[in-house]
Structure 1
């Protein structure tokens, strides 16, 4: 389940939807199941994000939502087998999806390789591992099997 977590300046709901769809389509075109792609957005409070010791959000920032981010810090959880070229292309796609101009904005994208068996999701009422399912699905499916 590839996951993109975006912390940024306030974005309109339509800007978030547009970016989420664009990133989902990009990942699907690069081998991910679109139904498994998760994109989330968080807006940081003023004076909570600093780059080089300088605040990217200040108390003077207006709280209005925009169509483009002024800055963003993004964490991507992707399969460990994804190579440097994939990560570089995804970082560029994120920049474009958020409308960040290299001359006027700040963007940091961090990749955290995450094995599928370290991710669980709700499936038919039980928590299921994102790793490959074995013939005995009961060994991986559901917390009811974890008695330790």
Structure 2
């Protein structure tokens, strides 16, 4: 299950929905099952996110919700077989989906390759994973749900 975890300034519900749909469609077009893509959003508390020692969240930050991210920290859990070109394209897609101005905004996208056997999910009433890793192999294929 590929996941995208976005921490940013407050975003409107419609902006979160638009972003989640765009990223889900992009991942589906690149081999993931749309139903298995998880996108989550977190709003950073005031004085909780710093870049270069300077706060990107301030005491004055209210509950005003923006149509776009003025800054974002994104963590993506993806299949370890995804190559650099995939990661590069996905990072750009995330920037465009969040409408982060690449010229002067702060954006960090970090990729965490995650083997399917390290992901557990509910399937037909049971908790399951992609299966145990086989000795001598990097990963186990596992059920369809855990594949990229």
Number of equivalent positions = 133
TM-score (norm 1): 0.87
User: Residue 18 of structure 1 aligns with which residue?
Assistant: 18
Provide runs of 4+ in structure 1 moved above 4 Å: none
Q: Secondary structure at 2:62's aligned position in 1?
A: coil
Determine helix, strand or coil for the equivalent of 1:117: helix
Question: What's the CA shift string for 1:99-131, capped at 9, x where partnerless?
Answer: 100123110000000001100111111101135
Equivalences for residues 133-144 of structure 1 within 5 A: 133=143
Q: Structure 2 matches for 1:49-88, cutoff 5 A?
A: 49-88=49-88
User: What is the rounded CA distance, in whole Å, between the counterparts of 1:85 and 1:51 in structure 2?
Assistant: 27
Structure 2 gaps, min length 5: 132-141, 144-148
Check the 8 A contact 1:121/1:130 in 2, yes or no: no
Q: CA RMSD in A?
A: 0.9
Say which one has the larger Rg: 1
